[in-house]
């Protein structure tokens, strides 16, 4: 029996929600872009605001 295992990197992005600063948002956008560009899996806290929301928009 042959088993093929494929793995992808899972990157967690957690941070402030509504209290996110402009720098937090900028960093989250860049991180989301890097995650998407590399085909990695994004794991967030799920909020629509702050760093979680911004990182999801880019990945």
Rg from Cα positions in the chain: 14
- Is residue 50 over pLDDT 80? no
Mean pLDDT of 9-25: 86
pLDDT 10s digits, 18-39? 888 899 888 888 988 999 999 9
Q: Note whether 22 and 54 are within 8 A (CB).
A: no
- Strand, coil or helix: what is 47? coil
Q: Could you identify the residue written with the tokens 């093929």?
A: 4
Q: Which residue ranges make up each domain of the chain? A: 10-58
Most distant pair of Cα atoms in the chain: their distance? 53
């Amino acid at each position: 029996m042959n088993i093929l295992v494929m793995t992808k990197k899972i990157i967690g992005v957690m941070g402030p929600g509504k209290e996110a600063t402009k720098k937090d948002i900028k960093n989250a956008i860049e991180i989301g872009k890097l995650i998407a560009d590399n085909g990695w899996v994004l794991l967030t806290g799920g909020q629509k605001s702050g760093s979680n929301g911004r990182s999801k928009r880019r990945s």
